[in-house]
Structure 1
């Protein structure tokens, strides 16, 4: 977890250390924006830590533990750049399956289980439980991802003695004990796991373009217009919720996803806590027919960082190396724009 915080601190200038929210051990905590409430005890587990990786409660983690340390749960609440349960379940599942601690874990069911929080609404959430081989630190581990409006809650649990079936029962008890807002119990979009894209992307030789002030400004303004469109009421019919497929093999650092609503390009979901890199034809490239591709990173606080464009569709490795270098050309948050003079 610290690795992605350091990488993104470099790219976005955000704090790399989580802050303690300072809630008394015997008091419940209510998240202001969603209304979700976490009590000091959940299904026999006690809250031992409550932190925020941002300054605005947009990436909160609550840790719960049994007195004998045989069972623990971590509940993450974050505001993802792409609000899609299947994508963030896929990222969390990858994080589990690529950890040395759980690398040989066997899923208890062939496919993730879709379920409804509170027993109402559509089965908009996903969960998966794993049995781990004998001799390890844990006998089982589990994951559940629940949508709360445009937010996502991820519940991770591991047990030293419980079987996979027993842990699944404990996971459901913890989920039931969380005090969910109406937006989590009235979901209407049924969840389904991400599948592999039928036709993988191909990449030609792509190079970074020379600094172009018009290209940079258009990319920054595009992020503002997209954010404004999300918040404004409109009489137009709702846009169908896109489905996502995963391109290639996911890694701990990122997964590459393509949307059914996309006309080109892809997104890279970083680690498993809401940050996304978008790689799409640039607006300027469409105007002057240069065919350039823009690269931008959006964090959980709504800050968009724009990086140098490419002459063609870049590979995910090229994009990852660029973002990891921290060479952003400009940033946009709300109406506040910051530009690197060298990018003009």
Structure 2
């Protein structure tokens, strides 16, 4: 078994990768054996995808990482492609991850040329659900071989489903018109839990203010306490039965710059944020250390920093004030305090004894 620090370094390397091929390589990609003529049912979410979707044959089903927490089915016919992704929701919400996907499309001139929105982010009611909990958007593209691409993202219990359709013959509006039929052709589970209404991301009305005094906590006793409480808190959250939120959290996009990803705030919070990486559901959470205050009312205010992967939560040394995004990324590139598995029957908490016992 690798050391805690080694595990965290590998996980961080995968999450901070800026391209999908690099991410797949670092996280480990597994080909799932399927029948070429029969539907494939995703192991955990129970969503089933057909062998042919909108006239395009399924060519592969692949998983990133362990435990099939991030799986996708690929359909290809010439240059036309549909990809159905299913991955575990561990942080953020549909609007956040849709916005990261939108950003990756609209800022990749090297891949797509000039990208023009054909349908701005629009809420829709997914098959089998009762509320407009999903978001859909579409874009026209000028760089061959594609003319248009569309994206739909929606919740499925504790999972997120993302469908991407790119066409060499249809522009953005044409691909968007095909998406309802594509979604309807998937075999959705019965009795899907009601998801919260999805509201497209907007800029935050007031930007975050970052104190210049924010520094990593270095006191050995405080680090030991943070390692233990952070791991236990993550373990308790993981053991709780996941219940999809019924009430929408209004997320907004903060302009704070970051080397990787984007900054998002729930209900315009002024003391917490999510640094969301790519659009794969992974990110870093920053918030006041409420657990530390409960254990020691005299302790000075601290801000916890954690890395949310699909199967584990990793805690890092807390900060003395709200840290800037680049300070968070710097923390993630250093040694961690603890790693808590959040998936499976065995919910293990690994404490980095070298970090909490040496006074670093």
Q: Same fold per TM (> 0.5)?
A: yes
Corresponding residue number in structure 1 for 2:154: 146
Instruction: Decide which of 229, 233, 255 is 1:218's aligned counterpart.
Output: 229
Deviations 1:82-123 (A, max 9, x none): 2621111111111111223236211113x3122122375222
Corresponding residue number in structure 1 for 2:22: none
Check whether the contact 2:106–2:115 (CA below 8 A) recurs between aligned residues.
yes
Corresponding residue number in structure 2 for 1:267: 274
Check whether the contact 1:5–1:17 (CA below 8 A) recurs between aligned residues.
no
Secondary structure of the 1:204 match is coil
Q: Which moved more, 1:16-25 or 1:282-291?
A: 282-291
Alignment of 1:89-168 (within 5 A): 89-100=98-109, 101-102=111-112, 104-109=114-119, 111-118=120-127, 121-133=130-142, 135-168=143-176
Where do 5+ consecutive residues of structure 2 fail to align?
1-9, 18-24
Corresponding residue number in structure 2 for 1:298: 308
- Return the alpha-carbon distance in structure 1 between the equivalents of residues 195 and 331 of structure 2: 38
Q: Structure 1 pair 35/19, CA: closer, same or farther in 2 (3 Å)?
A: same
* Residue 318, structure 1, aligned to residue 351, structure 2: no
TM-score (norm 2): 0.83
- Return the alpha-carbon distance in structure 2 between the equivalents of residues 262 and 226 of structure 1: 21
Q: Once the 2 structures are TM-superposed, how far is the Cα of residue 81 of structure 1 from its aligned partner?
A: 1.0
Structure 1 runs, 4 residues or longer, greater than 4 Å off? 249-252
Corresponding residue number in structure 2 for 1:207: 215
Q: Structure 1 pair 277/170, CA: closer, same or farther in 2 (3 Å)?
A: same
Deviations 1:152-204 (A, max 9, x none): 111112111212222112222221211112355x6353221011111111111
Corresponding residue number in structure 1 for 2:82: 73
Where do 5+ consecutive residues of structure 1 fail to align?
233-237
Deviations 1:3-36 (A, max 9, x none): x97723799xx96221111113222211232210
- Return the alpha-carbon distance in structure 1 between the equivalents of residues 319 and 190 of structure 2: 43
Secondary structure of the 1:108 match is strand
- Return the alpha-carbon distance in structure 1 between the equivalents of residues 272 and 62 of structure 2: 35
Secondary structure of the 1:253 match is coil
Q: Structure 1 pair 240/229, CA: closer, same or farther in 2 (3 Å)?
A: farther
Coordinate RMSD, CA, aligned: 2.7
Q: Which moved more, 1:166-175 or 1:146-155?
A: 166-175
Q: Once the 2 structures are TM-superposed, how far is the Cα of residue 147 of structure 1 from its aligned partner?
A: 1.2
Q: Structure 1 pair 139/299, CA: closer, same or farther in 2 (3 Å)?
A: same
* Residue 191, structure 1, aligned to residue 203, structure 2: no
Q: Structure 1 pair 285/89, CA: closer, same or farther in 2 (3 Å)?
A: same
Corresponding residue number in structure 2 for 1:235: none
- Return the alpha-carbon distance in structure 2 between the equivalents of residues 37 and 295 of structure 1: 36
Alignment of 1:273-292 (within 5 A): 273-282=280-289, 283-284=291-292, 287=296, 288-292=298-302
Pairs aligned (count): 327
TM-score (norm 1): 0.86
- Return the alpha-carbon distance in structure 1 between the equivalents of residues 259 and 200 of structure 2: 18
Check whether the contact 2:260–2:277 (CA below 8 A) recurs between aligned residues.
yes
Deviations 1:187-226 (A, max 9, x none): 3532210111111111112211114201211111111222
